[in-house]
Amino acid sequence: MKALLIEFNGKTGKRAGNIDPNDPKLQCYGWQNLDVHPAIEIRVIEDDRDVSQYEGIEGVTILSNKTEINTAIDEHIPIRYKIDNEVLFQEHLREKKIKLSKIEGNTKDVLKELFKQGVKGIVESKPNKV
């Protein structure tokens, strides 16, 4: 199993090396990080193409096996936090006397911190591995 770690412009979608994001044999499986610049993604190569065509391309890293792919997922793809149960979330905030308006930071960071504090109604979503 092989994959590519690809840098891209999150606004235009242009990939390093002009890699086609619509190539049906380069599957992403949700491994994208749009919170960094340039944005990055990991795409599994699902055919027997010659990967030497990607060697030396700035912004493209060849991942040669499952271990390298999973390591790249751990290093580059963030854990996400979201409100899974709005009613439970709001009730627990009231119980803990937490006012969202008093918390600074972007939504992602606030949810991560509230999750760590044990606020109910938030779920952690870790990226799947190969």
Instruction: Tell me whether residue 130 is in a domain.
Output: no
**pLDDT tens string 72-104:** 999 999 999 999 999 999 999 999 999 888 888
The two structure tokens encoding residue 42? 């990991």
Domain range for 16: 2-76
Residue 84 lies in a domain: yes
For a pLDDT cut of 70, what percent of the chain falls above it?
Answer: 100
Pair 8, 76: CB distance under 8 Å: no
In this structure, are 37 and 52 located in the same domain?
A: yes
72 and 89 together in one domain:
no
- What pLDDT was estimated at residue 105? 83
Tokens 């936090």 correspond to 81
pLDDT of residue 36: 94
Q: Which of 62, 40, 46, 31 is nearest to 1 (CA)?
A: 46
Report how far residue 130's alpha carbon sits from residue 118's, in angstroms, rounded to the nearest whole number: 29
Model pLDDT, residue 116: 93
pTM over 0.95: no
Confidence at residue 107, expressed as pLDDT on a 0 to 100 scale:
87
Residues 7 and 66 in one domain: yes
Whether the predicted pLDDT of 5 surpasses 90:
yes
Please count the structural domains in the chain: 2
Do residues 58 and 94 both lie within one domain?
no
Is residue 42 within 8 Å of 69, Cβ to Cβ? yes
- Tell me: pLDDT of 108 over 90: no
Instruction: Return the DSSP state at 55.
Output: T
Same domain (yes/no): 31, 84: no
Percent of the residues in the chain that have a pLDDT greater than 90, as a whole number: 90
